[in-house]
């Protein structure tokens, strides 16, 4: 069985169950408890931990109920706004789960206390796994609710610096809309066209990879000459270009 089980919830949210030991799992951003409890029961899995990327209701909605039902522990980046939190995840901290080391990556931008979680590969033939919440989406990025463009751009750069093969699992499936927006910026980007047509034909949007995002995600590409030319901002700084893209997407 795959180590990551994806559970769609609330329309476009994505919940992830990660098996790190024989039957022990953690769950990332459980917006809903019933679907998670169901998945655990079907596969006879034991939930030990909830990892929260940020405090928005659509990422924590099922946490209290799951904690009550299973006695699991709640870990997140915000000690104040996540009800029932047991441990505050600190930037660069390594959380140990069985043989998996999971690194906390602080990624302020969407909220001031957003974090991503990176499962480090245990050998050279394995890819890391990254849960990005509402920071990085497949083909897009989260809205700037609590931080400025510079913070978000720096956070995205941290994620972009992870190995190309890293598997990216994001908090919502906004993929179609994101690629449609991407094509308004780069109409001739063949990789975006290909991905859009795959997803339109029912292809899976998660996981993506860091390499795929660097090739197709206009936000991660803010620093490239291609995007700067497309926006007619050839000499602008990366942050300025990113901010302009974000403004356009907000009204797309
Ligand atoms: Zn959010
Ligand atoms: Fe969300």
13 CA from centroid of ligand 2 (Å): 7
**Dist. CA 196 → ligand 1 center (Å):** 24
Tell me the per-residue pLDDT of 14-36, one tens digit each, with 9 for 90 and over.
999 999 998 999 999 999 999 99
Q: How many residues does the chain have?
A: 252
Please name the residue that has the structure tokens 């860091």.
Answer: 210
Q: How far does residue 59's CA lie from ligand 2's centre (Å)?
A: 6
Residue ranges and CATH numbers for the domains of the chain are: 4-250 (3.60.15.10)
Write down the H helix ranges in the chain: 34-43, 57-60, 63-70, 149-160, 175-185, 190-200, 210-216, 225-230, 238-250
- Scored b (16 or more CB within 10 A) or e, 85-123 reads beebbeeeeebebeebebbbbbbbbbbbbbbbbbbebee
Q: What's the CA gap between 158 and 56, in Å, rounded?
A: 22
Calculate how far, in angstroms, residue 173's C-alpha sits from the geometric centre of ligand 2: 10
Residue 2's pLDDT is what?
66
pLDDT of residue 1: 45
CA 115, CA 109: separation in Å to the nearest integer? 10
Six-digit token pair at 114? 């957003």
Token look-up 């974000």 returns 246
Measured at the CA of 246, the angle between CA 245 and CA 247, to 5 degrees, comes to 90
How many angstroms is it from 135 CA to the middle of ligand 2?
Answer: 9
Instruction: Report pLDDT digits (tens) over 143-169.
Output: 999 999 999 999 999 999 999 999 999
- Give the residue numbers marked as catalytic: 54, 56, 58-59, 110, 134, 172
The pTM (predicted TM-score) of the whole model is 0.97
**Which residue ranges of the chain lie beneath pLDDT 50?**
1
State the distance from the centre of ligand 2 to the C-alpha of 138, rounded, in angstroms.
13
């Amino acid at each position: 069985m795959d180590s990551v089980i994806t559970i769609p919830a609330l329309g476009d949210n994505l919940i992830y169950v990660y098996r790190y030991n024989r039957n022990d799992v953690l769950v990332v951003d459980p917006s809903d408890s019933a679907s998670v409890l169901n998945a655990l029961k079907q596969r006879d899995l034991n939930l030990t931990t909830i990892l929260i990327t940020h405090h928005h209701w659509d990422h924590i909605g099922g946490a209290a109920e799951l904690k009550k039902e299973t006695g699991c522990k709640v870990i997140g980046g915000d000690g104040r706004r996540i009800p029932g939190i047991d441990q505050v995840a600190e930037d660069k901290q390594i959380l140990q789960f069985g043989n998996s080391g999971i690194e906390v990556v602080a990624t302020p931008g969407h909220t001031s206390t957003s974090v991503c979680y990176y499962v480090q590969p245990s050998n050279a033939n394995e890819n890391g796994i990254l849960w990005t919440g509402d920071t990085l989406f497949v083909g897009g990025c989260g809205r700037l609710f609590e931080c400025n463009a510079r913070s978000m751009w720096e956070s995205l750069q941290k994620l972009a610096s992870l190995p190309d093969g890293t598997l990216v699992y994001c908090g919502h499936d906004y993929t179609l809309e994101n690629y449609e927006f991407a094509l308004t910026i780069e109409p001739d980007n063949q990789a975006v066209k290909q991905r859009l047509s795959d997803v339109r034909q029912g292809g899976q949007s998660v996981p993506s990879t860091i390499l795929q995002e660097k090739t197709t995600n206009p936000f991660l590409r803010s620093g490239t000459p291609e995007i700067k030319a497309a926006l007619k901002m050839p000499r602008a700084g990366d942050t300025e270009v990113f901010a302009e893209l974000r403004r356009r997407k907000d009204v797309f």
